[in-house]
Amino acid sequence: IAKIHGQYPNYSWWALVYMFFCIIGVLVTVASDSVFTYHVAIVGFLAAGLVFTTSSVNSLVYSSDGAHEAAAAGFILLSMVAIVWIFYYGSQPTASSRNVIDSFALHRDSRVPSRISRQPQHNSYRPETSISQQPQMYTSAQLSGFETSSPVTGFPGGALGAMESNRDSGARYGQSNSLAPHTAATDRPNSTAAAPAEYPYRAKAIYSYEANPDDANEISFSKHEVLEISDVSGRWWQAKKENGDTGIAPSNYLILL
């Protein structure tokens, strides 16, 4: 390019400067681990840069001057890089092509879970999970205080007499006069459901996730970490880490293997 004189297109210099800053911007977002936050802006800037580089190629590639041809070759390389980056950053994280490119990464797990605080994690709305508390069920023994073998009209005083009779019989035989709702409260199952014994599915984390400190059921995991999944229904999956920790994980942060 140093040998090019007055015939070199002026906007091609601008294309070089523009693509230089685009490359710097991509490197900064990768180094700061904020690609997910700015990937839409990256695609927009690279699309504009692709227009500049392809226009420069069209102006230089047909020249007979060696310097112009060398500059055209450089702009062709810049266009190829821009196309690859647009395809990568414009694709969904679950796209197979993006996973193939990620497989060539030298250091996949550079982030720690605490650094994803810049991404939206906890919403005021919490979807139902597969380990949510089941409805309270009552047994026949618990409902025995409400059942009668004969119509209550057989007691003197009707229904009121039946209640008095139950109260008297309980006091006579040393039984508690508390009714079934009190018994059901003492037999209520633990709010935290038992972890399943089998985890037939495996999933890989496409983002890091930090568990909500106010929710003991959630677990934290890092990007590209492989988790075992017991149930893939719903928006929150029951997961198990390699170290044995179990809990629920958001399904939009995982991809099944």
The predicted pLDDT at position 121 comes to 46
Q: Position of tokens 């070089």?
A: 16
Residues 182, 203, single domain; the answer is no
- Structural domain contains residue 3: no
Mean pLDDT for the stretch of residues 65-80: 91
In angstroms, what CA-CA distances link 120 with 57, 161, 204, 207, 213? 42, 61, 20, 12, 15
- Structural domain contains residue 166: yes
pLDDT over threshold 90, residue 19: yes
Residues 85, 153, single domain; the answer is no
Residues 232, 161, single domain; the answer is no
The predicted pLDDT at position 168 comes to 53
The predicted pLDDT at position 83 comes to 94
The predicted pLDDT at position 80 comes to 95
The predicted pLDDT at position 21 comes to 95
- What strands, in cross-sheet order, belong to the sheet with 254-256? 246-250, 236-240, 226-231, 201-205, 254-256
Mean pLDDT for the stretch of residues 178-202: 53
Structural domain ending residue among the three candidates 74, 90, 106: 90
- Structural domain contains residue 112: no
- Structural domain contains residue 243: yes
pLDDT over threshold 70, residue 44: yes
- Structural domain contains residue 102: no
Residues 172, 240, single domain; the answer is no
| Total of domains in the chain | 3
Centre a 10 Å sphere on the Cβ of residue 185 and count the other Cβ atoms it contains: 10
More confident residue, 110 or 29: 29
The predicted pLDDT at position 46 comes to 94
The predicted pLDDT at position 163 comes to 55
Residues 177, 199, single domain; the answer is no
Please, which residues bridge with residue 228 across strands? 202, 240
Residues 152, 197, single domain; the answer is no
CB 76 within 8 Å of CB 19: no
| Nearest partner of 196 among 239, 244, 249, 133, judged by Cα | 239
pLDDT per residue as tens digits for the range 206-256? 888 888 888 888 889 988 888 999 888 888 888 988 888 888 999 889 888
pLDDT over threshold 60, residue 96: yes
More confident residue, 225 or 96: 225
Structural domain ending residue among the three candidates 186, 204, 236: 186
- Cβ-based burial of 194 (10 A; exposed 0-12, middle 13-18, buried ≥19): exposed
Residues 196, 182, single domain; the answer is no
| Nearest partner of 53 among 1, 9, 16, judged by Cα | 16
- Structural domain contains residue 241: yes
For position 206, which CATH number holds? 2.30.30.40
pLDDT over threshold 70, residue 94: yes
- Structural domain contains residue 44: yes
Residues 161, 218, single domain; the answer is no
Residues 203, 159, single domain; the answer is no
Residues 14, 62, single domain; the answer is yes
Residues 198, 161, single domain; the answer is no
The predicted pLDDT at position 120 comes to 44
More confident residue, 209 or 195: 209
| Nearest partner of 48 among 98, 87, 86, judged by Cα | 86
Residues 18, 76, single domain; the answer is yes
- Structural domain contains residue 53: yes
Domain range enclosing 233: 192-256
